[in-house]
């Protein structure tokens, strides 16, 4: 397994911990049991040389399945996925990482408060003055890795630095739990936030779905 594949394995352990999911290696491929109506399994590519064969396998399944491919050649991967019969759902996501010990930790702006809970996944909520959640996120610590997940800010509270507050609080709490490295899959919209906090790009990330899943989402 190459370097990126190893990092994908590490990321996935945090993701399934954050979501309460299970996974397996099926015919040598990493498969996560998502068990949602529009996504039964998510296949994770850990070897870019096997993408074409893996895409054909996912395209042939009878349930709604997804495939995520971290890659240094997103255009080439998109071509392989489409040739196999998959539909590219998210062509421009990013796989990222950061050392956590010096992560910025801005405090909340006036009128907001931060709430931290564990069950055991670290959960952070930034609450507005009326007590309603304005921003939130999760981080699951597995060994020395911490995987950030579901980082969200309500539309009416954006552009106030709340995403940075959530990420900084998650990083601080994860370090207290023994984490040293942060990993995440970022949407195209989230990359600017993470880069501003010092997260670096590991690779591009292309996410596709088979025809069964695509039809269900129409």
Q: Is the pLDDT confidence value at 172 over 90?
A: yes
Burial class, 3, CB count within 10 angstroms (exposed 0-12 / middle 13-18 / buried 19+): exposed
Mean pLDDT of the 190-216 span: 97
- Architecture of the domain made up of 101-179: 3-Layer(aba) Sandwich (3.40)
Q: What is the pLDDT of residue 216?
A: 87
Cα four-point dihedral sign 138, 21, 141, 25: negative
Calpha distance 1→47 (Å, rounded): 6
Q: What is the pLDDT of residue 218?
A: 54
Q: What is the pLDDT of residue 1?
A: 61
Quote the tokens at residue 58. 């996912």
Over residues 24-82, the pLDDT tens digits come to 999 889 999 999 999 999 999 999 899 999 999 999 999 999 999 999 999 999 999 99
Sequence ranges of the domains in the chain:
3-94+203-216, 101-179
Name the band, by pLDDT with cuts 50, 70 and 90, for residue 127.
very high
- Grouping H, G, I as helix, E, B as strand and the rest as coil, residue 12 is helix
Mean pLDDT of the chain: 96
Mean pLDDT of the 96-110 span: 98
Q: Output the pTM of the full model.
A: 0.95
Task: Please report, in angstroms and rounded to a whole number, the separation of the first and last CA atoms in the chain.
Answer: 36
Burial class, 148, CB count within 10 angstroms (exposed 0-12 / middle 13-18 / buried 19+): buried
């Amino acid at each position: 397994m190459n370097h990126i594949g190893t990092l994908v394995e590490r990321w996935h352990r945090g993701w399934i911990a954050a979501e309460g999911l299970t996974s397996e290696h099926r015919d040598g491929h990493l498969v996560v049991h998502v068990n949602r109506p529009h996504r039964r399994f998510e296949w994770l590519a850990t070897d870019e040389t096997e993408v074409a064969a893996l895409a054909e396998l996912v395209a042939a399944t009878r349930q709604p399945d997804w495939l995520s491919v971290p890659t240094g050649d997103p255009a080439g991967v998109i071509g392989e996925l489409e040739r196999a019969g998959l539909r590219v759902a998210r062509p421009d996501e990013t796989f990222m990482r950061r050392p956590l010990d010096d992560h910025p930790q801005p405090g909340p702006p006036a009128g907001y408060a931060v709430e931290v809970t564990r069950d055991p996944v670290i959960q952070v909520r930034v609450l507005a003055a009326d007590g309603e959640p304005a921003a939130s996120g999760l981080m699951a610590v597995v060994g020395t890795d911490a995987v950030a997940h579901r980082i969200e800010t309500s539309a009416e509270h954006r552009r106030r630095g709340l995403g940075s507050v959530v990420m900084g609080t998650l990083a601080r709490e994860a370090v207290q739990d023994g984490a040293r490295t942060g990993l995440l899959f970022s949407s195209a919209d989230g990359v600017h936030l993470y880069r501003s906090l010092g997260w670096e790009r590991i690779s591009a990330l292309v996410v596709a779905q088979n025809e069964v899943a695509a039809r269900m989402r129409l």
